Amino acid sequence: MRNWDYRYCWLRDATLTLLALMDGGYYDEARAWREWLVRAVAGSPAQMQIMYGIAGERRLPEFEVPWLEGYEKSKPVRIGNAAAAQLQLDVYGELIDALYQACKGGLAGHDIAWSLQRALLDHLEKAWTEPDAGLWEVRAPPRHFTYSKVMAWVAFDRAIKMVEGFGVAGPVERWRELRKRIHADVCQRGFSRRRCAFVQSYGSEELDASLLLMPITGFLPATDPRVVSTLEAIRRDLTVDGLVLRYRTHQAADGLPPGEGVFLACSFWLADNLCMQGRWDEAHDLFARLAGLANDVGLLAEEYDPVARRFLGNFPQAFSHVGLVNTAMNLYEHDKPAEQRAEKKAA
């Protein structure tokens, strides 16, 4: 059963939440989180975890409690989360991007935070070529996930822009060379000519909804033919009743039993891509359908079952609500989050 203890602070989820808050003009939260981050990640960059306890706790051992039935007998019930020990390379890019966006929004510089970022970049320079567990925290042998490499590119891209835009010190020429190298690596090894799409991991043919984030991060323009064909492949082969799966669990070995619902955050990412391609009517229709799934108090779960027409997974889920906020702003605000993050000027 895909049943996890979520009572922790994922660095990825926190940064994506902060991006949504900052798009709404809330920067005090970003400042407070930066202070928390510096304390929680203190020590060797190689020891940075992808999640911590709310107070910065590092030890989050996972075990099962067989005497509990779980919601609708959804055993096993787990306490703790072993994913805390995984290598997930995308987290570096998420973290450094969020801090860069905060500086763009006017958050004052912070020498200790920049020193932390420098140390993390030094570590990532060596680690980005390693296989990892990926955005979805697979419990199978590590792979070279395409999205993980994209976010390694994001880490160095934003570091370069910090130097160029805010006058902080860093080995910018070396970072430019790394950025170029990672970009070429992803375009060569992460794209399947047979599927005419970017794929989940190097050498695979499986699709993955995380690739919908490529244009939003600025890795490639939304109108790039490879991005357009990836979006169409996902719509064709990775949707159920028009809503997006993370990946086909029976095709991509992830160390867990197959089967899950559509992932609501991924469906919002599809709407964001449609916005960036100027397909406003399609984006609006998808957004209206997703927003209409909310319960009587406006909350969304992690997943949805289009057949049984009910929520699945963690509830409420920050990932889903961040997606809702971002897509709403992409549709209705002049300063669109997807364009701001990708540094594409609004039309």
**pLDDT, tens only, 162-191:** 999 888 889 999 999 999 999 999 999 999
DSSP string, 290-317: HHTT--TTS---SEEETTTTEEESSSS-
For residue 346, what pLDDT band results from cuts at 50, 70 and 90?
A: very low
What is the identity of the amino acid at 149? Answer: K
- The closest of 101, 109, 108 to 22, measured between CA atoms, is 101
Residues 13 and 148 in one domain: yes
Flag whether pLDDT at 94 surpasses 80. yes
Alpha-carbon distances, residue 141 vs 2, 87, 138, 145, 152 (angstroms): 17, 11, 8, 12, 20
Q: What is the mean pLDDT of the chain?
A: 87
- Domain membership flag for residue 131: yes
Identify the H or E element spanning 103.
helix 90-104
The pLDDT of 81-106, averaged and rounded, is: 87
Flag whether pLDDT at 99 surpasses 80. yes
pLDDT at res. 109: 67
Q: Which domain holds residue 195?
A: 191-341
Residues 252 and 278 in one domain: yes
Number of domains in the chain: 2
Q: Please, what's the largest Cα pairwise distance for the chain?
A: 57
Flag whether pLDDT at 201 surpasses 90. yes
DSSP string, 148-214: HHHHHHHHHHHHHHHHHHH-----HHHHHHHHHHHHHHHHHHSEETTTTEE-SBTT-----GGGGGH
For residue 213, what pLDDT band results from cuts at 50, 70 and 90?
A: very high
* C-beta of residue 88 within 8 angstroms of C-beta of residue 132: yes
Residues 170 and 195 in one domain: no
Cα torsion 147, 171, 161, 320 to 10°: value is 30
- The closest of 230, 251, 247 to 303, measured between CA atoms, is 247
Residues 290 and 180 in one domain: no
DSSP string, 3-56: -----SEEHHHHHHHHHHHHHTT--HHHHHHHHHHHHHT-S-GGG--SEE-TT-
pLDDT at res. 250: 67
- CATH number, domain with residue 195: 1.50.10.10
pLDDT at res. 55: 80
* C-beta of residue 127 within 8 angstroms of C-beta of residue 59: no
Tell me how far apart the terminal alpha carbons of the chain are, to the nearest angstrom.
Answer: 45
Report the C-alpha gap between 184 and 179 in whole angstroms: 9
Report the C-alpha gap between 316 and 339 in whole angstroms: 27
**pLDDT, tens only, 48-81:** 888 888 887 888 888 999 898 887 787 788 888 8
* Vertex 257 angle, CA 252 and 258, to 5°: 55
pLDDT at res. 46: 78
Residues 10 and 41 in one domain: yes
Question: At which of 189, 222, 247 does a domain end?
Answer: 189
For residue 345, what pLDDT band results from cuts at 50, 70 and 90?
A: very low
* C-beta of residue 195 within 8 angstroms of C-beta of residue 207: yes
- Domain membership flag for residue 346: no
Residues 181 and 244 in one domain: no
**pLDDT, tens only, 233-291:** 999 999 999 999 998 876 666 656 666 788 999 999 999 999 999 999 999 999 999 99
Instruction: Between 347 and 192, name the one with better pLDDT.
Output: 192
**pLDDT, tens only, 109-145:** 667 788 888 999 999 999 999 999 999 888 888 999 9
Residues 200 and 325 in one domain: yes
Residues 121 and 179 in one domain: yes
Residues 174 and 99 in one domain: yes
Report the C-alpha gap between 326 and 340 in whole angstroms: 11
